Amino acid sequence: MYDTVVIPFTTLYFNIDYYKRMTGVDPKLGAEVLFVFMKDDTPYNALTDESFASIGVQGEVLDEGQSGFVSIKTRDRMNIKNATVTDHRISIEATERPDIEDLSDDEYKEHVNTIKNALLNSLQYFEGGNIYRSWIVRLRTIEEVIATSAGWMDIEPEMKYEFVKTDSKKERIALYEKVIYENLEMYRVTSEAKNAQEDENQKVYREQAIKKQIDFLQKELDELHPENVSETRKLELKLQDSKMNEEARTEATKAISRMKQEGQNSPEYGQLFNYVDFLTDLPWEKSDSSIDLKNAKEILDQEHYGLKKVKKRILQQIAVMSLNKKQSGSILLFVGAPGTGKTSIGQSIAHALGREYVRVALGGVRDEADIRGHRRTYIGAMPGRIMDAIHKSHASNPVMVLDEVDKLSQSYNGDPASALLEVLDPEQNFSFTDHYMNVPYDLSDVFFICTANSLDTIPEPLLNRMEVIQFNGYTPIEKLQIAKRHLLPKAIKTMGLDDHLTIDDETLSTIINDYTMEAGVRGLKKRIDTLCREAAINIVEGNGDITISKDQLREYLDMHPISHEHVHEIKQPGIVTGLAWTQAGGDILFIETALTKGSGKIIITGQLGDVMKESAQIALSIVKSKFPNLSDVFKDHDLHIHVPAGATPKDGPSAGITLTTALASLITGHPVSPEFAMTGEVSLRETIMPIGGLNEKLMAAQRAGVKTVFIPNENKDDLDDVADEIKDKLTIIPVSHVDEVLEKTGIKKEAR
């Protein structure tokens, strides 16, 4: 036998074929069988005396196998020695191994009864264990007890062999008692754990069954009396249908439980209701929206005239989103003058993408809680503007326009611009946590668009998270097309004029040129709305259809034409035309200089800011170094620098070359043609540095009658953004040094 130990006084059953194969003979009643234990599975041809255990067990055949099985009753232990293998037959010398009788009859019986009682008590831990009860009761010897129980107890072969080789009955009983008590304790612990687990499972199943019954009965009651459904029950039903994440569901469930415990009379009940109602109303599930790039392009072209670069960048982002099947790319920041279409193009993007549109006004926001929400520990706590906009849009992926981000302000309540950092960071906003909600919400699918009039007041960390797209001012031709295609038809439809009002292109052009002064079209829209209201009065009074000509604008608009700056016709030393950028677009300004008898003081008037004052000092130093033979003039005279429209503050880094040219013209007495205009800052090295707002400045120059414009050489590439109609009417000269301007205006030559 290998890996199996036969214990004395055990009845064994073998398949008759197996018996024949192992012994080589047919079973015969009374035949003796010797069970020898092999130490390992060594092949027969390699067996030696050391391959066998030193003790075996002798048995006797009790049944010749008429039923197909041979029964063998094991008896005495045998000493095994001198094993040999010849022709696949094993010869073994076996002698009887008697037990050591070291127990009295009374001790022996006491041990037998103790073990039998332990076995009888253990039957409760076995399924069907009672079938062994009658067997155990009939046992008389310790060998019978061991033989009977070893078959159904978990005893390793090594331990069984210990029973076989132990000669002392006292030691054998002690060994067996140890094994049986270990097994019985293990069975007891296992049975108790199993019963405890079954009890626990039964409680869980019972609880689930009761809850299902309650839900079923509650549903029946709700259907019978829908008017009596409680608020908490309504919230529970909404919570079941909601697709919120597990963290949010846990918070909502806890809040509903507190509502039930505290009742409707609790002062906290209303706050908890609003909280759960807000959570369950939020759109938690991802929204699928197919993207048609061709259709998006058509919508953008249809709803907005011009803005070619802006539309191109938007279409690039839409194309990337179409490929990735999700929101991706930079957060867009539209920067430009008022009325250039920054906010309205957000509506067109939403229309092109088939998404909801929502606008969040940030102008004047100075509390961090307006962005992140108030904590629910405060009375009147509310969610922040971001989550409130998501709630109102009923979509997890709207196009959200954050309007006027440059007009955020700080206070003791925190910095709202810093709170926007997480909102606008694609690496963080997938788990944005509003203080009111106190659970994460995924904003990664939201198409964020920010708008601003200027970059100066936007904090650098916030600006780094966005891609700046400049909205340049519209040319008069573009404004005319916008008025014809969008503003006028919309105003006529809004005011119910149908086809009763006619305004020709010449009249619209006059409104653009003489009654507005802006980069955008907001003022133009106001003028058109005014004309429509006047037309409405005429129609209601029964005067029929109305056609408005340019000569009637003064009467209908009830305002004087706006006086734009125009170039002077008379040349005068010390006066040069400059170009300026304002939030309303571009404009020209005149730098005026004069010398009066005095002590060399410098007088600067015209509400100039610090930058322009410094530019004036640099310009004076350059002129003194350029014309050393004339520099003594400044010692005996006071220099007065003035920029007209003194009530209007002026500042910016683009008047340096204009101031330098004006001072050079003054000191040399050479007048500069009014048809020359220039823009650019200068350094003490006399280089001309780049400026911004070139498009608006060139439009202002063309409108004012300027013929030639000097611009910094580094701004040449910006001419690609300037409309051809503007460039065709101007002579634009890029310059990089002060000498170039002085040469082309004739000042340098005259000084020589």
How many other C-beta atoms lie within 10 A of the C-beta of residue 388? 18
Active-site pick, 697, 707, 744, 749 = 697
Backbone dihedral region of 619: left (phi > 0), alpha (psi from -120 to 50 degrees) or beta?
alpha
Q: Are 524 and 481 in contact (CB under 8 A)?
A: no
Active site residue 411: no
Q: Which of 547, 550, 546, 577 is nearest to 561 (CA)?
A: 550
Q: Are 592 and 610 in contact (CB under 8 A)?
A: no
Distances (CA, A) of 531 to 19, 26, 102, 526: 118, 125, 129, 9
Residue with tokens 């809040």: 255
Active-site pick, 122, 149, 242, 654 = 654
Known binding residue 336? Answer is yes
In angstroms, the CA 329 to CA 301 distance is 22
Known binding residue 342? Answer is yes
Strand boundaries in 67-141, DSSP class E: 69-86, 89-96
Known binding residue 337? Answer is yes
* Phi, then psi, of 17 in degrees rounded to 5: -65, -40
Residues in the chain: 752
Name the amino acid, one letter, at 689.
Answer: M
* Phi, then psi, of 54 in degrees rounded to 5: -80, -10
In angstroms, the CA 318 to CA 322 distance is 6
Q: Give the largest Cα separation in the chain, rounded.
A: 152
Q: Are 501 and 540 in contact (CB under 8 A)?
A: no
* Strand-strand pairing, 575-582 and 585-597: antiparallel
In angstroms, the CA 699 to CA 708 distance is 12
Q: Which of 469, 468, 452 is nearest to 311 (CA)?
A: 469
In angstroms, the CA 473 to CA 334 distance is 13
In angstroms, the CA 749 to CA 727 distance is 28
Active site residue 81: no
Instruction: State the DSSP H helix or E strand holding residue 345, giving kind and residue range, or none if neither.
Output: helix 342-353
Task: Specify binding-site residues for ATP.
Answer: 336-343
Which residues form the catalytic set? Answer: 654, 697
Task: Specify binding-site residues.
Answer: 336-343
